[in-house]
Chain A
């Protein structure tokens, strides 16, 4: 009998004739670990990738355990085809991270593991080969000085605090105002990590948006191997970067949230820059928070983690206040003499804004033009106009697949030739021609309502015909390389007036920029999402922080109809701490995170009624413990998206373990997604509700 022989198998570690049971994670949507047999002669360890037969075709799995026995008769188990080599074995610490993420975010282990691997490591195709270049063998020892200014006292204190913590887990919150030299702190700490022969993991919101940061790392560490990891890399490049990181060849891993899922054998520090950024949260598959995963990662690796931001997320700030994170503060701009910009509101109730730009704003731009300085006009909405409407009957162009308006886009070139525009859905990507006439009443004179970047650019071109105007949004920046060149050019002083969306808000350093004008801040103020004030504050502080980063003082003008709003008051005082305190008090009173823990169950179906029915049934499926509260299901604000109708229900609990335990039982009890035409998923610590 198989069971009786087990003890012997374990002791006789690799007896060539005896079979061993491998517990293997496979990329299938069931919460199950599969068992296969392997002979005693083949060397295999947990973390190895193996080829196994599964259904009609072979698959790649990851060995998670070499078991003493199976609960299934050995005759029913299939054999492992072969152990794959070429990639380093996945370390135990990495498997532990996957276990945690799988259980915390309620996603089957096999899918969690598969999602963390680059596509090539999930396939049976051989790994791409690459000749080792000289750079790969570069010595890490001869680090030149990092360069730049000598750190100011606050930077020096931060560097010192983190440096003495190297070698053990400790989370830091580096709260530094815009332009305070957070990057310099990272670089100097990383230099010490590299000197110890360890690896540094640096997470940034969107790598395509921060080419300057990558360039800065390359300048600071010219002889180090830097692996860059983000989702827009093509397959081979991503696989190489991943392998370089996993083999320990790369000493700095710079990437977006997915980089936190890379095995790193010698991890010495984790940095999360702009930790408040919403893009750290993955919105599909494994819905993890890259920031929270980074803290876990550091804990598993026994190294410090630095969360950096000018406007930390309230969750992180709360953790800092509670003493869970060590707070390090950079209260001054790094460049001597540089100050935070003056922030003023322009009251749109008193001042008419023809074409969306108030007179004060236009005068401020004129003054910059006269002095040869750059201005940034910030409007967080791309396209020409958000609505195309018929003023005769009230019709507005809508998306057939989404419950949303279509956005009017003018033709790409300025001085647009007529008729080349299009209507686009910013939710599903649908695109159609502009109708000649209103489909309801036949009126030909359809009007664009509101303003996007294109329309603002057009207006400015008319008002300032001699100025060089650059528009930067997702439409002009389709290609990363092109965007990098444009941003570089702006840094060198190209462009007099920049019109841009939040693409321009993040991290860029434009020395000659002294004016930032914010056009449509009010939209976010009127949002029902309890995070909208926090996000608007962060966005405005970020975008405003682009102004006056050198000797010339910067100015920020915010057009609004609500100049007395406390958010603007705090922004004008540059008082993040005060703003955060008032927001936290509101959240505590209203029972929102970080004072409670949340999860959302979302359902998608052809008709919202089915989704609602599913959610109502789900809410009654199990007895809900008193410590967990389930709210009534509600359709999404944008109920229909890309032809699918959506609804969600929210769960809250003061106890994270209680919520976790309930979610575990609940997700196991919910019917499989495909069964009823309703697809569902759980989102733990959700941050988007639209």
Chain B
């Protein structure tokens, strides 16, 4: 915290390893603090010895000029300190990222440059897909399975724990538990191409009852549009060919290439954590995709009229 203050930064944040919101992140945080304190002390000690060796009067520093300095300072001291640090580090490793019984399973597939998310069915609750946002209950262990569809990505939610690489052809897993409700942010932490810098996702930690409500809603098909403009929007979605890449459950749109849009209106951000989610940004995204995030797989749809664009964006925003 002190070093944060000195560094003009705010350590708390939605994407900060120094603001732990779960057990794993907290364990790692304490490891980090202890190592930082130790490293600082050792650094000042070595600096002090060096300056003493240079500037102290020769008679006073003669004791430092022998082989013992090397044996004690360079061999014995590191061995002792590291022999204490290593077991501590290994214990933290043992206790971190542990699969717990009864964990909530979530499957995430890394794509260039977004996150395909699936909640498998549990008991009588059906499975469903979403994208770019993970909602989790507080206090229940989460077991995320990850892989990648194209290149290597990495799944990282700093407030909850370490990261895990998403490697094509492999399924890796990450386990953590959220202890504090709130909104957090995860990012891709392995360079994955043009827009690696713009590949983030929202993480919402809710009280268990709120989570159940969210989950129940997500499993339902898309809500029917009730206003004429929204109906028009749905029609444009169909005629514009959006369904060949996107799924909207409850309509004929069933493309698996891009993110599931069934409840896109319920998400906090669009573009993989890049812009707040509202009619304006949705319209801008559709019309100017390649200008906003050049290199994504979705082309810009710049030929809609302003009115059509508003209708289409309005329809998507209504898919809560």
- Tell whether A and B belong to one assembly: no
Q: Report which A residues bind B (CB closer than 8 A).
A: none
Q: Report which B residues bind A (CB closer than 8 A).
A: none
